[in-house]
DNA sequence: GATGAATGAGGCTTCATTCAT
DNA sequence: CATGAATGAAGCCTCATTCAT
């Protein structure tokens, strides 16, 4: 039995339509979870936002937790993808600035970041989420380390710093910024700027000082 | 008739015992919230952990939300108190190291930090929590800025850095570390070490380079 | 495509079955409220009487109060409908006698009357019920006045009496009788007879004296 | 053991103070029950209104139901006492008018009447209340019959009417008026006037026609 | 595939009542 | 007596999930 042919009985479903529906539900769930968190969000809310019936959800996701996990996975993947923007950057710090700036301006990036806070909190309860988060963290750190080392090889970063160490610290900085994004009316700009400045001072090659 | 006995009828109220009970409930709630989060924790769990009946909770807290808010307030206060340890430190960086280290070793500090993740997530839903968090953030940043400026005046910090900017970045770093504390089996040490290294590189006076 | 099928996806809603269920719940609630009053009746009792689950109630009524209000409305409407029996009566007093008699014999009429006592009591607490009761009272008095005036025009009633005044007094008499219906083992007959006699003496045209 | 010496142990209680407290509680309960009904009223409300602790209630009344019963008894007694005003009235109808008028003007009389609606409703649930109400009704009817017969003997009432029949009908009228007293902003005057007119037409001796 | 209807389990909160002080 | 504290029992309501259509 192949993964792409789970059930040949009955009317063969249109896989495209199915994927679209699924994405539509995920988007709705994302919006709801952002508003009210995983636990406070009800299946009724999600289905209303998705424009389908409650029972309809269960044809695309086993249960509510599966929905959460799918969303967590998607969100973590998106976070990692963000790092790829730094790869082969001509001006490393400039791109870092762009990425951090996107957190405060690009609504998609922002919503990703905000959901991440919820994910971290959920990791305390759900072993499954914790496992995904840890795995994502490992990949993320590795990718970031890689990117930094690469930039360092290109002479854009102080050769004395340890790429992995910087990666870890930058991860922490980002998570801190994520938290601020959740606050209403909070001035996000200063946090981003301060983080950027700290990164700059840390990695700037001596020539830039 | 003594001044402390305005009402001598009936069983005298014992404010000490009452405060103890209240603290006992708060501790129980703290433990539960840490384990399962604000929403997944039930009043039954809290009362069981506190060793009283469910109805008993309601003699000390109006409702579950009041319990949450009390805990949030206490936790935020504790976070701010942490900064005072940095005041008048003979060796600023050493004390920073101590404080950050405590996050990973002192169970009380750690549990404070872990609850904070829950608080940040809750801030997305509860305006009351958000308000408290923002207010705490303002105080925290101010206190941190103050402490840094003071250390700077004592020559322990590079005179060129902007104290407030550093304070903001350090806040972000700390929040990031808080998140890692929630992960099971995650190596917290490297994160703390990396954060510390970044701080060191940022604030170290030129003489220390 | 028929006009009656605006939404052909999924299980079609059956308005008839739905209305039946709703009526069934209302009947169950009526029986329970009659036995134990609005406040003492629990949702568990109603659902058991209706043969559905507690949660099932909430698919047909927003909450317990909505159920009460629906029942109040239905009951008040029924009371007003009673007056229409008097319209165009060939022998006015005879029909009055019939109606009053039904209060003590027809179980549906009786249960309506008994619930009314509960409604009047509830009106003291619930502004919504009070409003409905007052509105019903106004309509009721107007209808009764109208009916009396019409009978008066036909010469069945003493031309000297004021139709509205009689209507008000008859209303009071009826409410008093309602109260007696609630008493166990109370001889209702004499009350009805006495009330009827009083009405007769009041409205009888001189020719009948 | 006599009823007046239930317990000789301990400090002999001051019976007067005790009775005062009891009356005070009854008054408080009356006010609360009027506002919210028997079931919706909590012991906390009553004790707050009475200015004592909740536990204090239980030193004067076995439980909440005993409080209700005491109040019911008092209220019914008061209703019967009202009839005595009609005894030996020089002008029977005039006094009837006075009494009915008091229902709408004298706050004590009114509150008695309003509580009676609650009592009638409660009679559907509580056999004890029902029993008291029936017993009171019997006494009331007897007293009213007696008063009417007496006035009839004095020539103030049409000798052809049956005193008991009139008594029953008047009871119904009064109960109907009681119900109107509960309605907010309802014009009570017309109801009283209409009832009075009906009584007048019923009992007026031919000489008065 | 889609959905209206149904429901068991459980959550938060209230309340009458008891008891130690 | 008087009362603060404690609690078992219950009530209303919600929610994730299932199932017949």
DSSP letter for each residue of D17-50: HHHHHHHHHHHHHHHHHHHHHHHH--HHHHHHHH
pLDDT of residue D5: 42
- On whether the CB atoms of residues D106 and C157 are closer than 8 A, the answer is no
Mean pLDDT of chain C: 89
Q: HSE (CB half, 13 Å, CA atoms) of A58?
A: 6
| Residue B53 scores a pLDDT above 90 | yes
Give DSSP secondary structure letters for A23-57.
Answer: HHHHHHHHHHHHHHHHHH--HHHHHHHHTS-HHHH
Mean pLDDT of chain D: 88
Q: Which of D139, D180, D198, D203 to mutate to test the interface with C (most CBs of C within 10 A)?
A: D198
State how far the alpha carbon of B51 is from the alpha carbons of B39, B45, B68, B115, in Å. Answer: 21, 10, 18, 22
Binned at pLDDT 50, 70 and 90, residue D11 comes out as low
Q: Convert the pLDDT of each residue in D109-166 to its tens digit.
A: 889 988 999 999 999 889 999 999 999 999 999 999 999 999 999 989 999 999 999 9
pLDDT of residue D143: 94
- On whether the CB atoms of residues A45 and A32 are closer than 8 A, the answer is yes
State how far the alpha carbon of C20 is from the alpha carbons of A121, C14, C15, C17, C115, in Å. Answer: 47, 10, 8, 5, 22
- The answer to whether strand F lies under 7 Å from the CB of residue D200 is no
Q: Is A80 exposed, middle or buried (0-12, 13-18, 19+ CB in 10 A)?
A: middle
- On whether the CB atoms of residues B57 and B43 are closer than 8 A, the answer is yes
| Residue B1 scores a pLDDT above 60 | no
Give the pLDDT of chain A (209 residues) as one tens digit per residue: 334 444 445 556 788 989 999 999 999 999 999 999 999 999 999 999 999 999 999 999 999 999 999 999 999 999 999 998 888 888 888 999 999 988 888 999 989 998 999 999 999 889 999 999 999 999 999 999 999 999 999 999 999 999 999 999 999 999 999 888 888 776 788 899 999 999 999 998 765 54
Cα gap D87→D148, rounded to integer Å = 9
Judged by CB atoms closer than 8 Å, whether chains meet at D137 and C174 is answered as: no
Binned at pLDDT 50, 70 and 90, residue D7 comes out as very low
CA D105 to the chain's CA centroid = 15
State how far the alpha carbon of D124 is from the alpha carbons of B11, C118, C122, C179, D172, in Å. Answer: 40, 9, 14, 10, 18
Q: What does pTM read for this prediction?
A: 0.89
Q: Which residue has the higher pLDDT, D51 or A91?
A: D51
Q: Convert the pLDDT of each residue in B142-153 to its tens digit.
A: 999 999 999 999
Cα gap C148→D26, rounded to integer Å = 45
Helical spans, DSSP H, in B88-209: 92-105, 107-123, 127-153, 163-181, 188-203
Helix pair A107-123, A64-84: axis angle to 10 deg: 120
- On whether the CB atoms of residues C158 and C206 are closer than 8 A, the answer is yes
Judged by CB atoms closer than 8 Å, whether chains meet at C124 and D130 is answered as: no
- On whether the CB atoms of residues B83 and B140 are closer than 8 A, the answer is yes
Q: Which of A145, A194, A200, A208 to mutate to test the interface with B (most CBs of B within 10 A)?
A: A194
At a CB cut-off of 8 Å and minimum separation 6, what does D59 contact? none
Binned at pLDDT 50, 70 and 90, residue C38 comes out as very high
Q: Which of C167, C175, C192, C209 to mutate to test the interface with D (most CBs of D within 10 A)?
A: C175
* Listed residue (C136, C82, C73, C72) closest to C108, CA to CA: C82
What is the longest distance spanned by two Cα atoms in chain A? 69
Nucleotide E12: nearest residue by CA–C1'? B43
Q: How many residues in chain C?
A: 209
User: Mean pLDDT, to the nearest integer, of C135-149?
Assistant: 93
Cα gap D44→D54, rounded to integer Å = 6
Judged by CB atoms closer than 8 Å, whether chains meet at C117 and D124 is answered as: yes
pLDDT of residue B207: 55
User: Mean pLDDT, to the nearest integer, of B14-19?
Assistant: 94
- The answer to whether strand E lies under 7 Å from the CB of residue A42 is no
Instruction: Compute the 3-state secondary structure of chain B and give helix, strand, coil in percent, each to the nearest 5.
Output: 75, 0, 25
Does an interface of 3+ CB pairs under 8 Å exist between D and C? Answer: yes
Binned at pLDDT 50, 70 and 90, residue C207 comes out as low
Cα gap B76→B67, rounded to integer Å = 14
- On whether the CB atoms of residues C159 and C208 are closer than 8 A, the answer is no
Cα gap A23→A36, rounded to integer Å = 20
Cα gap C138→D186, rounded to integer Å = 10
Give DSSP secondary structure letters for chain C.
Answer: --TT-S--SSSPP-HHHHHHHHHHHHHHHHHHHHHHHHHH--HHHHHHHHTS-HHHHTTT-SSHHHHHHHHHHHHHHHHHHHHHTTTT-SSHHHHHHHHHHHHHH-HHHHHHHHHHHHHHHHHTT-HHHHHHHHHHHHHHHHHHHHHHHHHHHTTSS-TTS-HHHHHHHHHHHHHHHHHHHTSTT--HHHHHHHHHHHHHHHH--GGG-
What does the DSSP 8-state code read for residue D13?
Answer: P
| Residue D208 scores a pLDDT above 60 | no
DSSP helix/strand/coil, D160 = coil
| Residue D207 scores a pLDDT above 60 | no
| Residue C1 scores a pLDDT above 70 | no
Phi, psi of D162 (to 5 degrees): -90, 115
pLDDT of residue C65: 96
Binned at pLDDT 50, 70 and 90, residue B29 comes out as very high
Q: Which residue has the higher pLDDT, D10 or B175?
A: B175
Cα gap A202→A209, rounded to integer Å = 11
- Lookup: tokens for C78: 């029924």
Q: Convert the pLDDT of each residue in B127-166 to its tens digit.
A: 999 999 999 999 999 999 999 999 999 999 999 999 999 9
pLDDT of residue A8: 44
Between D134, D168, D193, which is nearest C191 by CB?
Answer: D168
DSSP helix/strand/coil, A129 = helix
Does an interface of 3+ CB pairs under 8 Å exist between B and A? Answer: yes
Q: Which residue has the higher pLDDT, D2 or A202?
A: A202
By C1' distance from the Cα of B58, the closest nucleotide is E13
Host H or E run for residue A69: helix A64-84
Judged by CB atoms closer than 8 Å, whether chains meet at D121 and C123 is answered as: no
Between D118, D161, D173, which is nearest C173 by CB?
Answer: D173
DSSP helix/strand/coil, A105 = helix
What does the DSSP 8-state code read for residue A13?
Answer: P
Does an interface of 3+ CB pairs under 8 Å exist between C and B? Answer: no
Phi, psi of A126 (to 5 degrees): -100, 115
Question: Cα–Cα–Cα angle for B64, B67, B69, nearest 5°?
Answer: 110
Q: How many residues in chain D?
A: 209
Cα gap D201→A94, rounded to integer Å = 101
- On whether the CB atoms of residues B124 and A37 are closer than 8 A, the answer is yes
Conformation bin of residue A185: beta by default, left when phi > 0, alpha when psi is -120 to 50: left
Phi, psi of D25 (to 5 degrees): -65, -40
Domains in chain A, CATH or no CATH each: 13-61 (1.10.10.60), 65-208 (1.10.357.10)
Q: How many residues in chain B?
A: 209
- On whether the CB atoms of residues A192 and A100 are closer than 8 A, the answer is yes
- On whether the CB atoms of residues D171 and C193 are closer than 8 A, the answer is no
Neighbours of A189 (CB within 10 A): 11
Helix pair B15-40, A15-40: axis angle to 10 deg: 180
Neighbours of D68 (CB within 10 A): 22
Give DSSP secondary structure letters for D97-150.
Answer: HHHHHHHHH-HHHHHHHHHHHHHHHHHTT-HHHHHHHHHHHHHHHHHHHHHHHH
Question: Cα–Cα–Cα angle for A123, A124, A127, nearest 5°?
Answer: 60
Neighbours of C56 (CB within 10 A): 13
Q: How far is the CA of C192 from the C1' of E13 (A)?
A: 46
- On whether the CB atoms of residues A116 and B175 are closer than 8 A, the answer is no
Judged by CB atoms closer than 8 Å, whether chains meet at C35 and D125 is answered as: yes
| Residue D205 scores a pLDDT above 90 | no
- The answer to whether strand F lies under 7 Å from the CB of residue A53 is no
Phi, psi of B5 (to 5 degrees): -130, 70
Q: Which residue has the higher pLDDT, A186 or D49?
A: D49
Binned at pLDDT 50, 70 and 90, residue D204 comes out as confident
pLDDT of residue A10: 52
pLDDT of residue A158: 92
Binned at pLDDT 50, 70 and 90, residue D51 comes out as very high
pLDDT of residue B189: 85
Question: Chain D contacts of C166, Cβ < 8 Å?
Answer: 194, 198
Q: Which of A127-141, B47-61, C5-19 shows the lowest mean pLDDT across its residues?
A: C5-19
Binned at pLDDT 50, 70 and 90, residue D1 comes out as very low
Question: Chain C contacts of D39, Cβ < 8 Å?
Answer: 37, 39-40
pLDDT of residue C8: 65
Cα gap C56→C40, rounded to integer Å = 20
* Listed residue (D113, D31, D30, D96) closest to D68, CA to CA: D30
Interface residues 43-72 of A with strand E (CB < 7 Å): 52-56, 58-59
By C1' distance from the Cα of C39, the closest nucleotide is F11
Phi, psi of B85 (to 5 degrees): -65, -25
Min CA distance, A43 vs chain B (Å)?
16
Give DSSP secondary structure letters for A165-189.
Answer: HHHHHHHHHHHHHHHHHTSTT--HH
- Lookup: tokens for C204: 């009888």
């Amino acid at each position: 039995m192949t993964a792409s042919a789970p059930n040949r009985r009955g009317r063969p479903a249109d896989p495209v339509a199915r994927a679209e529906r699924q994405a539509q539900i995920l988007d709705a769930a994302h919006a709801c979870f952002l508003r009210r968190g995983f636990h406070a969000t009800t299946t009724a809310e999600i289905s209303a936002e998705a424009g389908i019936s409650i029972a309809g959800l269960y044809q695309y996701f086993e249960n509510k937790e599966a929905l959460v996990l799918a969303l967590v996975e998607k969100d973590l993947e998106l976070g990692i993808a963000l790092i790829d923007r730094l790869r082969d950057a001509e001006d490393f710090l400039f791109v870092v600035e762009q990425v951090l700036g996107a957190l405060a301006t690009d609504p998609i990036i922002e919503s990703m970041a905000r959901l991440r806070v919820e994910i971290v909190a959920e990791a305390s309860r759900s072993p499954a989420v914790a496992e995904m988060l840890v795995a994502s963290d490992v990949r993320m750190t590795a990718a970031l380390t890689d990117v930094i080392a690469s930039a360092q090889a290109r002479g854009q970063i102080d050769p004395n710093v340890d790429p992995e160490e910087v990666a870890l610290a930058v991860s922490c900085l980002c998570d801190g910024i994520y938290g601020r994004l959740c606050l209403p009316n909070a001035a996000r700009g200063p946090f981003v700027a301060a983080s950027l400045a700290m990164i700059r001072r840390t990695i700037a090659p001596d020539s830039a000082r």
